[in-house]
Each structure stands twice: as C-alpha cells, then as structure tokens.
Amino acid sequence: MTHDTATPLSVFTVSLGCPKNLVDTERMLGVLGPAMVPADTVAGADLALVNTCGFIQPAVEESVAAILDAVRDADEAGESTGRRPLVAVAGCLVSRYGQDLRDELPEVDLWLSTDQLHLWPDMIAQAMAHARPISDAPRRLSTGPAFAYLKISEGCSHNCRFCTIPSIRGPHTSRPVQALLAEARTLAASVPEIVIVGQDSTSYGSDLGGDNTIKHLVTGLADIPGLAWLRLMYLYPAGLTDDLLGFLKSIGEPLLPYFDIPLQHAHPDVLASMGRPFARNPRKVIDRVRAHFPEAALRTTFIVGYPGETDEHFEHLMRFVEETRFHHLGVFPYWPEEGTPAAAMPRQVGHETKLARRDALMALQADISRDIMESYVGQTLPVLIEAPSPEWPGLHTGRTWFQAPEVDGTTYVAAPPDKDLTPGTIVQAEIDKADTYDLSGLV
C-alpha cells in the first residue's frame, strides 16, 4: 500500500484511556499531513489506529477488545475488496505487555510503544510508504470547538505501590515552557478553554530547571489573547503548597478556581501503605486550598478495597467525604495489577466487598452533588456551549466553570428560536433546574 501527500489518507481511530492518550492520538493525526481525512469505519480506512490504555485490568480488556474488532474489520475489508487497511496499535498496552502482545496478535501490522512516542509518525509513514510527515505540524483536535487538552509532561517519578504508570510511561519528563506556550497559542486560536493535563502537574519543570516551572508556564498561558478559561488537572496534594496556591490566586482570570486533586484515600494507614507522596492527613491539603480559594470547586478520586483496608478505614473515608463535600468524585475498586508491590500484599479485599464500598461511597456523593447542584438554582452562571442537541431544537449542551470536560456533569441551556448559541462561545445562563450531577438553564 503506497500513499503520497497529494492523495487523501483515510484514518479510522480509537483512542482509549486518559486525555493524555488523546493528545498523543491528535498529534499523530496532525503530522500525517493535510491529506489525512477521518474514516467512520475500519473498512473505509487506509489506516486503523488503536491507541490503547493498559492502566488497570478493565482498561486492558477494553483495549484488547478494540484491537480484535479492528483486526476483524480489516480482515473482512480485505476479503471483500482486496484492500486490507493497515492496523496499527499504540500506547500503554503495547508498552506494558510488549512481545507477549505481539505474539498473541500477529494480525496487527504495526506496534507503537510509548517509549517510541516521538517516532510514531515516522513509523506509520514508513509502514504505509507515505511521504515523511512534517514533525511540527499542528494537532488534529478531536474535542470539538469548546476546549483542547495541553499535555505538559510524560510519565511519573512517584512510587505509589498500586500504580503501573511509571513502568509503562517512564519517569516524569516535562516539555519545555516555550514549546508549550507555542502550542497553547495555536490551540487558543481555535478554542476558548485549555485544560492542562499531566500525570502530576504540580511536578512540572522539576526535571528541567531554569524558567521551566509551573508558575512560569501558568503566567505565560494566562497572558495568551483569546483564552477564556484555563483549567489545571492532576494536581498532586504534595505540590499544592501555600506558595503555589498564593501564586495561583494572584493570577485571576482566565485561571479557574477548580482543583483536581487525586487523593486516593483519607485514612493515614491506607495512604502510608499505598506509598502516597504527601502528608498523611489530606484534610490539611483541602483546608489549604480553601483558605486561598473559598469558592473552589474540588474534584478527587478514591480507591476502595486496597489491600488491608478494613471496615474502619472505609468508614473513615466515608466521613471524610461527607465532611469535605467535593463537587466531583470518582471511585474505583482496587485492581491487583501484575508487577505492582500492592498485588503481592497480604489481606487482599474480596471483589464483592470492593464493589459494595464503591457503590456506598458513590451513593453518598450523589446526595452531596445533588445538594451542591441545587444551590446554583436561581444563579446566573457562565456556560461554555459545546453542541446543539440533536433531539431538541433550541437546547444545547455545555459546561459551567466547575465542570471539567468528559469527567464532570453537563449544563443544558435552552434558548429562544431567534437566538443562535454557537458552540465554543460562553453565554450567561440563569439556572432553573438541578439534577444529581447536571444543571439546566435559560439564556
């Protein structure tokens, strides 16, 4: 199969896992050149690209299923048309399972591991006999006209005992400030919101020195013309010092007072067993954030059923959630991942117990979320419009400032027939209804 830059190159993509993976996919699509066009099906593509996640067992199973689907569809296309799309599999699953995965799935044409990230475009171009891609081409955004992710680092240098990321993605490696600002200026020309992502955003620049600091980066991003919202995700508790929080407070707009802090647990014994890189009392972190940002919206994630977690430990976590009142909360049952220290620990918790604890914690959070959402009824909030409803004329989906894309709730906005709500614009909406996680309002 050969291609030149003058003929369209149709690409079917599946990007699984976190936003950091999605950025890798978008970058790869961009450097394939201006002739790249998206394909709706594998059968209609020259290239089927599956960017996988391998973080925990459910993600592994989802990734394997996506690979098998792509291979099956490519084979069927080859049999019916005599033209089989090239199947490329990339990402964390490839890095985690390496040669074993290659041996199990010989039907895959090209394997792309994360330690070869900078080589992915050239490897695809070579496999397809495509003209060498332009390495500095802009990303092909797939997130619509409202927002884009900006990945500021790769990997992680923490040693949490349950986590596979350091072994998959390697140590924490920051991208230079000037490269990030250049990319962000390009993004801000297309979208009003930039969402910062990295495995630990507060560690940004610790491996580079000089002006490559999170303060220098945020200062530069906040000065970009046209940027309406700047959202920071993946803020490790240890990095949220009074010094950093005081600096963030001084920035003001466009920085949103939204804090995504992955705590993972609240009991000091469980945190110590996890090997979490911060003080054993997460209340101190929450109090510190709220001292600087009383209006802050807080998001976190917790793991339940970690080895050795007792009923007492879990009740401690429940009380912590009840008292803290997070805007948004994710709960995950612990998975004993092969190769991690936690998988070999004694006192593993039964699967049914993990699921019961997850459900109990999410039920508690649903009540808290409903109360918080109802407190906004009657207020006028800024809403970033994302898309018109395909079913209800005049209704649009969007998000207000305390709703991060793809992980938090939605704000539905109704407008009169003569008012056009263009996706990517921010409107003022009067909130008239609240559900457990979502809001509705009128323009």
- pLDDT per position as a tens digit, 273-294: 999 876 578 999 999 999 999 9
Nearest of 140, 142, 3 to residue 85 by alpha carbon: 3
Where residue 396 sits, what CATH number does that domain have? 2.40.50.140
The answer, yes or no, to whether the previous bond of 336 is cis (omega within 30 of 0) is no
Is residue 132 assigned to a domain? no
Say whether pLDDT at 354 is over 60.
Answer: yes
Write down which residue in 127, 161, 190 finishes a domain.
127
C-alpha–C-alpha distance, residues 343 and 336, integer Å: 4
- pLDDT per position as a tens digit, 110-128: 999 988 888 887 888 788 8
C-alpha–C-alpha distance, residues 173 and 28, integer Å: 19
Is residue 140 assigned to a domain? no
C-alpha angle 114-264-244 in degrees, rounded to nearest 5: 80
- pLDDT per position as a tens digit, 38-52: 899 999 999 999 999
- pLDDT per position as a tens digit, 54-85: 888 899 999 999 999 999 999 999 999 999 99
Let me know whether 351 and 393 are in one domain. no
Is residue 301 assigned to a domain? yes
Let me know whether 415 and 321 are in one domain. no
Where residue 326 sits, what CATH number does that domain have? 3.80.30.20
Is residue 141 assigned to a domain? no
Amino acid at site 378: G
Is residue 406 assigned to a domain? yes
Write down which residue in 97, 127, 157 finishes a domain.
127
Let me know whether 122 and 260 are in one domain. no
Average pLDDT of the segment spanning 332-345:
93
Least reliable range by pLDDT among 98-102, 317-321, 366-370: 98-102
Average pLDDT across the chain, whole number: 92
Average pLDDT of the segment spanning 198-215:
93
- Tell me which residue range forms the domain holding 113: 9-127
- Structure confidence at residue 2 (pLDDT): 47
Looking at the chain, the whole-number percentage of residues with pLDDT higher than 90 is 76
Let me know whether 339 and 265 are in one domain. yes
- pLDDT per position as a tens digit, 213-227: 999 999 999 999 999
User: How many structural domains compose the chain?
Assistant: 3
Residue 177 tokens read as 């400030």
Say whether pLDDT at 394 is over 90.
Answer: no
Contact partners, residue 327, CB within 8 Å, separation at least 6:
297, 298, 299, 369, 372, 402, 408
Let me know whether 169 and 310 are in one domain. yes
Contact partners, residue 374, CB within 8 Å, separation at least 6:
434
Let me know whether 155 and 223 are in one domain. yes
- Structure confidence at residue 68 (pLDDT): 96
Let me know whether 384 and 324 are in one domain. no
Is residue 400 assigned to a domain? yes
Average pLDDT of the segment spanning 420-429:
93
C-alpha–C-alpha distance, residues 346 and 128, integer Å: 49
- pLDDT per position as a tens digit, 188-198: 999 999 999 99
Let me know whether 390 and 292 are in one domain. no
Let me know whether 265 and 346 are in one domain. yes
Nearest of 22, 7, 17, 77 to residue 48 by alpha carbon: 77
Nearest of 321, 309, 322 to residue 353 by alpha carbon: 309
- Structure confidence at residue 32 (pLDDT): 78
